[in-house]
Structure 1
Amino acid sequence: MNNMKTFEDYGVKDWHEVTKEGKHIMFWHADWCPDCKFIEPKLPELEQEYSDFNWISFNRDDNMEIAQELGIMGIPSFIIIENGKEIGRLVNKDRKTKEEVETFINSVVNK
């Protein structure tokens, strides 16, 4: 991943603190997830294409309490947060392509 920070890089326990200001895309994944590995090579391109967002990587297994709070049942998943409020989510267990993620982001941003 290009400039994407992991949640742990922020050194805080509360994800609300990290996302309270600005635009963020949360990428939820797990080390054992083949569908996560499928989309990971495309993430630097997505980060560059949507560079006005702060991209944050969340390992679901390391952040299970947050995953439960947000209802992350399937991975890979993406959630868009703007100024502390969720404005979109692509949360399911299906494999995702770069094009699907772009369509999701564009549908949220261009509302």
Structure 2
Amino acid sequence: MGSFFSTMFTPPPAADDGGDSRVVAVHSTATWDEQWGAHKSNPNKLIVIDFSATWCGPCRFIEPAFKDMAGRFADAVFFKIDVDELSEVARQWKVEAMPTFVLIKGGKEVSRVVGAKKDELERKVNMFISSSSS
């Protein structure tokens, strides 16, 4: 019976970073600075940052949904930042739990979702993308 429950509550393995995902995995401060500089000043472009960690079960659980959203919402830019690799960037955005999703427009945070709350994240992404086109 123990194995039944462990299979129910064990998150799926982290998806491979390869493939056709539109999520930009950022592994260095220099890359982050370059990407941030390229996108922050566009007032109509939604930026969604997934602050996660490789050891975080909920992060691995929501990763496929995050990649799916990145594929469906072409009007947004999706970044993935490992808090252990880029702890200074995580500190700058006041990340205290994983996963944390920060939504940004025009260089300013417009919303945040803390936890693997797929429906809430998708609703907010949809809302802020829709507000760009109106």
Runs of 4+ in 1 over 6 A off after TM superposition: none
**How does 1:32-111 map onto structure 2 within 5 Å?**
32-90=55-113, 92=114, 94-97=115-118, 99-110=119-130
Paired letter, 1:38: F
Cα RMSD between the aligned structures?
A: 2.3
CA contact (8 A) 1:35 1:95 kept: yes
User: Taking every aligned residue pair, what percent have the same amino acid on both sides?
Assistant: 24
Give the corresponding residue for 1:21.
41
Q: Which runs of 5+ in 2 are unaligned?
A: 1-16
Paired letter, 1:6: A
Deviations 1:8-49 (A, max 9, x none): 379435364243233211111100000001101112221122
With normalisation by structure 2, the TM-score equals: 0.67
Give the corresponding residue for 1:3.
22
Deviations 1:79-107 (A, max 9, x none): 112232222211x3x3323x221122234
CA contact (8 A) 1:4 1:55 kept: yes
CA contact (8 A) 1:79 1:86 kept: yes
Q: Which runs of 5+ in 1 are unaligned?
A: none
How many residues are aligned here? 108
Structure whose CA Rg is larger = 2
**Aligned-pair distance for 1:77?**
1.3
